[in-house]
Amino acid sequence: MSYLVLARKWRPMRFEDLVGQDHVTRTLGNAIKSGRVAHAFLFTGVRGVGKTTSARILAKALNCMGDPELTPPGVDPGPTATPCLKCRACLEIAQGTDMDVREIDGASYNGVDEVRKLQDSIPYRPSRDRFKIFVVDEVHMLSQSAWNAFLKTLEEPPPHVKFIFATTEVHKVPVTILSRIQRFDFKLISAQMVAERIRYVLSQEGIEADDSAVSIIAREAAGSMRDAMSLLDQLIAWGGESLRGEDVARVLGVASHAVLYEIARALVTGDGGRCLEVVSDLANLGQDIPHVARDLLALLRDLVVAKVSQDPARLLDLPDGEAADVKRLASEADTDDLLRLHQGFAQGFDDVVRSGQPRAALEMLLVRLSRRPALVPIDLLVQRLGQLERRLGGNQAHAAGPRPAPNAGGAAGGGGQPMQARNR
């Protein structure tokens, strides 16, 4: 039997299997139940989040003839939010052979002639199904004249015709079109939801994976379920029946949470030497240093969020174990210090990414940040300033007036250090 890639094998067949797009499925489901279905839809959002999948499910929902075992012949059950997946319409749409549901690829179908031909067929009623449905994918590839040809049909479509457009680049769709169709914005899928789906697919496939492995794949997918499934394919081809975090990190050339956490902890405690050791291990494993830097920046952001937010779980998008680590480390650090670390790292990040020697650039950045001077609390500074004023005596303090001396003005941006130095 030929191997079907996981993304296709696990393409959701019903709205309820679609992960992370509840706002879309709820609105569509309600519209179908209440019989208020628009005549044209636009599904937009980044790659691999369920646009094409939803277009096919919607086509089934509109045309499903009802479970053949439960629906008496000659009875039309009408559109349903839960297509049966057994009737001829459902089966043929899934196979792409339904005469009345045409899937068109915007990339190869961008001329006005094709659209005209399509329009010639529009007045004729569907041959078997309830609706004639045109699914036009990747519509950002359509030419202006092709859109113009669509425009007229979208204005006054016959009741038996529905259009479903899908694209990653909604800004390329003309406004005149946008104002005539119902738009659905598909969201990036959270890492936790991606992780849950990965676990489900792995369990169905009979493959074991530890938490770290799942978490790395989910993180690398960056919100795209298709990317998650493709990474899984790649890893299963490599590792077979069981996936371990360390191996996954090595194969994908990224750092595991534990390693990133180790660097963050060394930064917080000011241990530059430890930072260098961890970077050396990463480099020896051949890991991609700019990628590590990006993940580290995200972790430093998470530390600030964990420190400041009342409800960090909602904002962190991390598996429970990792979120607990982040919260623990954040609790040991000072908010301003964490902010300083993030800001300092963000400023040096571009150098690491652009550098011809990213390893050295990252090392020096980490050492520099580890050597940051300790923060002096503001009340301590005010107290010392008071002492200084008293020592200088009343007269001089008055003469200086409210205007700061040029030097003091220059030192203000540099934090507490210069003041501290002069005080000694």
Ligand X SMILES: Nc1ncnc2c1ncn2[C@@H]1O[C@H](COP(=O)(O)OP(=O)(O)OP(=O)(O)O)[C@@H](O)[C@H]1O
Q: Which positions touch ligand X (CB under 6 A)?
A: 7-8, 10-12, 18-21, 47-53, 166, 168, 189, 197, 225-226, 229
Within 10 angstroms of residue 67's Cβ, the number of other Cβ atoms is: 15
Q: Which is nearer to Zn ion, 76 or 120 (CB)?
A: 76
Report how far apart, in Å, the C-alpha atoms of 199 and of each of 12, 15, 32, 422 are. Answer: 15, 19, 32, 59
Residue 3 main-chain phi, psi, to 5 deg: -85, 125
For ligand X, the closer of residues 50 and 66 by Cβ is 50
Tell the smallest beta-carbon distance from residue 11 to Mg ion (Å): 11
CB of 126 to Zn ion, least distance (A): 15
Residue with tokens 């016959």: 158
Longest pairwise C-alpha distance within the chain: 104
- 192 counts as binding Mg ion under rule CB under 5 A: no
Subset of 60-89 contacting Zn ion (CB under 5 A): 64, 83-84, 87
Least distance CB 366 / ligand X (angstroms): 37
Q: Which of the listed partners (ligand X, Mg ion, Zn ion, none) does 64 bind, with a CB threshold of 5 to 8 Å by partner kind? A: Zn ion
Smallest separation, CB 183 to ligand X (Å): 15
Residue 52 or 215: the one with the smaller Cβ distance to Mg ion is 52
Cβ atoms of 285 and 354 within 8 Å: the answer is: no
| Residue range at the interface with Mg ion (CB under 5 A); choices 45-53, 205-213, 312-320, 336-344 | 45-53
Residue range at the interface with Mg ion (CB under 5 A); choices 51-59, 128-136, 296-304, 404-412: 51-59
Q: How far apart are CA 359 and CA 165, in angstroms?
A: 45
Q: Which stretch binds Mg ion (CB under 5 A): 48-56, 186-194, 221-229, 349-357?
A: 48-56
Closest of 42, 39, 216, 213 to residue 138, by C-alpha: 42
Q: How far is the CB of 111 from Mg ion (least distance, A)?
A: 21
7 binds, among Zn ion, Mg ion, ligand X, none (CB under 5 to 8 A by kind): ligand X
Residue positions counted in the chain = 424
Q: Residue 318 touches which of ligand X, Zn ion, Mg ion, none (CB < 5 to 8 A by kind)?
A: none
294 burial (CB, 10 Å; 0-12 / 13-18 / 19+) is: middle
Out of Mg ion, Zn ion, ligand X, none, which partner does residue 83 contact, by CB within 5 to 8 A per kind?
Zn ion
| CA–CA dist 373, 338 (Å, integer) | 13
- Measured from the CB atom, the residue of 52 and 63 that comes closer to Mg ion is 52
Closer to Mg ion by CB, 51 or 342: give it: 51
The phi, psi pair for 75, rounded to 5°, reads -95, 130
Nearest to 132 by CA among 165, 167, 158, 153: 158
Restricted to residues 106-135, the positions that interact with Zn ion (CB under 5 A) are none
Residue 164 or 366 with smaller CB distance to ligand X: 164
Block residue for tokens 């200086």:
400
Region of 7 please: left (phi>0), alpha (psi -120 to 50) or beta.
alpha
- Taken in order 364, 365, 366, 372, the sign of the CA dihedral is positive
Q: Residue 53, interface with Mg ion (CB under 5 A)?
A: no
- Residue 53 contact partner, candidates Zn ion, ligand X, Mg ion, none, CB within 5 to 8 A by sort of partner: ligand X
Least Å from the CB of residue 26 to ligand X = 14
| Cα gap 274→265, rounded to integer Å | 9
226 binds, among Zn ion, Mg ion, ligand X, none (CB under 5 to 8 A by kind): ligand X
Closest CA to 257 of 242, 245, 239: 245
87 interface partner picked from ligand X, Zn ion, Mg ion, none, CB below 5 to 8 A per type: Zn ion
Residue 321 CA to residue 327 CA, distance in Å, equals 10
Instruction: Round to whole Å and give the CA distance between 422 and 424.
Output: 5
- For residue 52, state whether it binds Mg ion (rule: CB under 5 A): yes
Residues 59 and 133: beta-carbon distance below 8 Å: yes
C-beta closer to ligand X: residue 189 or 263: 189
Q: Using DSSP, state whether 63 is helix, strand or coil.
A: helix
List of residues contacting Zn ion (CB under 5 A): 64, 83-84, 87, 90
List of residues contacting Mg ion (CB under 5 A): 51-52
